[in-house]
Structure 1
Amino acid sequence: MTDSMRIAQQSVTSQPPTNSTPIFKLSPELLNRIYDYLLASPSRIFVAKIVRGNHRAALKQIRSEDSVDLSVSILGTCRQIHDQATPMLYGLNSFVLEAGWDSQTFLHQIGPSVEFVRHVKLHNIEVQVPVAAGLKLLSQAKALQTLQFGRSVRSSFKAKDLAEALEPLMVALKKHQGEESAWDVVEFVPAEQVEDEFEYMMEQVEMEEYASAVNAALAQRMLEPAVRTSEDY
C-alpha cells in the first residue's frame, strides 16, 4: 500500500459522514482522489518566511517548488473536510524549512497537525536554539519517515550538540516506530549544486563522517542511565 493510499484510508474511511453537503455523498475513494489532486505536490514544498499568525497564516506560506498552486484553502471549508484533508496535506508532501526561527514558528503554528508530517528537510541552519526547539516539536510527528539536514548543519552544530537536540525526537520515534525504523529517519545530504565532481565526492565523505559522529553520540546518549524523565522531552 502506497503512502497516498494509507493516509487516505486513515483520513476518510475512519470518519463517519456527518454533513449532508453533496461532496460527502461521494465514495471515500473518489473523495480521496479529490484531496490528493488538490493537496499533493509533485515536488518539494518550501515554507516561506513567517512572522506571526496562526495555522491559517502558516497555510498561506506553503509554496510548491515547481510553483504548483496547492488548494490549501479547502481546509477552511468546514470542519469535516479539514479533519479529512489535513492528514493528506502534511502526510503526502515533503517540506523544506528554513532552519531558523521560521521553522520553529511554522511547526508551532500547525499545532497538532505536526503529527501527520512525514518528510522534512532543514535548510540553511545558522542558529542552534530554534533548530533544537523545532526538533522537539517534530517529536510529535509519529509517522516521520525522513528528516534531512543540509551541509550547513556542520558549521552550526558539533556532533554531540546535534545528538542532544535529536534525542527527544529519537525517543519518540523509537516508541512509535521501533528501534530499527527510528535510526533510518535522520539523513545528512551533501549540497545539491556542487558542479565539480571531486568537490562533490569530498562533500559526501565529510557528510558521512559527520553523520557517523552524530549517530555515535546519539547512541551513547540513548544508552546512558535514564536520569532524564519523560517531562524533559
Structure 2
Amino acid sequence: MAVDNDISFDDLPPEIRNEIYSLTLCSDTPAKIDAERRLTKGLPRRPRVHVRSRMDMIPHLNATLLRISHRVYAEAAPILYGANAFSFASESTLHTFLKMIGDSREHVRRVEIMYIGDSSVLRSALHLLKQAKQLESFECQPSMLRRLALKKNQVKALLPWLKTLQKGAQGVAGRKGALEIFTSAEPSSTAGGPGPGWDRHCAEHERLHAEVMALLRQGLGS
C-alpha cells in the first residue's frame, strides 16, 4: 500500500522554519523602501492580501514565504521587520510604509531616513512609530541633520515621539534612552579622500549635530 510521505512547510520543526525565514528574509544591508512608486498598484482590500502589497515594497528581500498562510506570516513577520534595517528616502515614504504594515510596526527595530520636508507628515509617521516598542536606532543621514538645524519646527516635530521613547525607557533595565536611539550618521568620505575640504565638512557636521542634539535635550528637559 502506498504511503503518503509528503511534508508541508507547516510540518517542519519550528527551528528549521525559523532558519528558512532568516535565510530568505534577512539582509546584511538596509532594505531601501520605495513606497510611493508602488502605492497605487494592487492596494489590498482584505487583510489577508496585505502581505503581497507590503512585500512588494521590499524588492530585494524574498518575502514570498509570508504569503503561504496566516501562521507563516505570524512567525515570519517579527524576523522580517525585526532583523532588518529599513532605509527611507523621506518622511512620506516612512509614513506610507508604517501605515501599510499595520500592527507589524511593533517589530521594527532599525530605521534610517535620508531627508525630511514636511513636519506634519513626519509627526504622523513618528506617531505610528511609537508602536515600535523595541526600536533600537533611528538614524538620520547628514542631509536630514542639516535640514533639522535649519528648520527648528522640524526639531519640534520630533519631540512628542522622543518623549514617548524617554518615558518608555524609565525604570527599564537595558532600555536605551531617546537620544541613544535617535542618532546621526557620519558623513561619507568624498571621492578625493581626506583633505582640508573634508576636514571642514566633518567639522560642519559635528557642529550641526551638537546644535540639533542641544535643541532636543532642551525640549526633553534633560
TM score, norm. by length of structure 1: 0.74
- CA distance, structure 2, for counterparts of residue 75 and residue 182 of structure 1: 33
After superposing the two structures, state which structure 1 stretch, 154-163 or 30-39, moved more. 154-163
Indicate conservation of the 8 Å contact 1:128/1:156, yes or no. no
After superposing the two structures, state which structure 1 stretch, 180-189 or 193-202, moved more. 193-202
Q: Quote the sequence identity (%).
A: 24
- CA distance, structure 2, for counterparts of residue 45 and residue 210 of structure 1: 30
Which amino acid in structure 1 is aligned with residue 117 of structure 2? E
Residue 188 of structure 1 corresponds to 184
Residue 3 of structure 2 corresponds to none
Which amino acid in structure 2 is aligned with residue 170 of structure 1? L
For residue 90 of structure 1, report the CA deviation from its aligned partner.
Answer: 0.3
Q: Classify 1:96/1:26 alpha carbon distance in 2 versus 1 (closer, same or farther; 3 Å).
A: same
Match of 1:101 among 89, 92, 95: 92
Indicate conservation of the 8 Å contact 1:142/1:172, yes or no. no
| Unaligned 5+ runs, structure 1 | 1-19, 64-68, 224-233
Q: Classify 1:31/1:175 alpha carbon distance in 2 versus 1 (closer, same or farther; 3 Å).
A: farther
Residue 75 of structure 1 corresponds to 66
For residue 174 of structure 1, report the CA deviation from its aligned partner.
Answer: 3.5
Matches within 5 A, 1:26-175: 26-50=12-36, 51-52=39-40, 53-54=43-44, 55=50, 56-63=52-59, 69-158=60-149, 160-175=152-167
| Deviations 1:103-148, CA, capped at 9 Å, x for gaps | 2111111111111000001112222222221111111111000001
Indicate conservation of the 8 Å contact 2:169/2:176, yes or no. yes
Structure showing greater Rg: 2
Could you say what secondary structure the match of 2:142 adopts?
coil
How many residues align structurally? 197
For residue 82 of structure 1, report the CA deviation from its aligned partner.
Answer: 0.4
- CA distance, structure 1, for counterparts of residue 71 and residue 131 of structure 2: 23
- CA distance, structure 1, for counterparts of residue 17 and residue 135 of structure 2: 25
- CA distance, structure 1, for counterparts of residue 167 and residue 15 of structure 2: 31
Q: Classify 1:202/1:134 alpha carbon distance in 2 versus 1 (closer, same or farther; 3 Å).
A: same
After superposing the two structures, state which structure 1 stretch, 40-49 or 196-205, moved more. 196-205
Q: Classify 1:163/1:156 alpha carbon distance in 2 versus 1 (closer, same or farther; 3 Å).
A: closer
| Deviations 1:127-173, CA, capped at 9 Å, x for gaps | 22222211111111110000011122244335753443223323432
Which amino acid in structure 1 is aligned with residue 56 of structure 2? K
For residue 102 of structure 1, report the CA deviation from its aligned partner.
Answer: 1.9
Which amino acid in structure 1 is aligned with residue 136 of structure 2? Q
- CA distance, structure 2, for counterparts of residue 217 and residue 60 of structure 1: 41
Indicate conservation of the 8 Å contact 1:151/1:188, yes or no. yes
Residue 204 of structure 1 corresponds to 205
Q: Classify 1:21/1:127 alpha carbon distance in 2 versus 1 (closer, same or farther; 3 Å).
A: farther
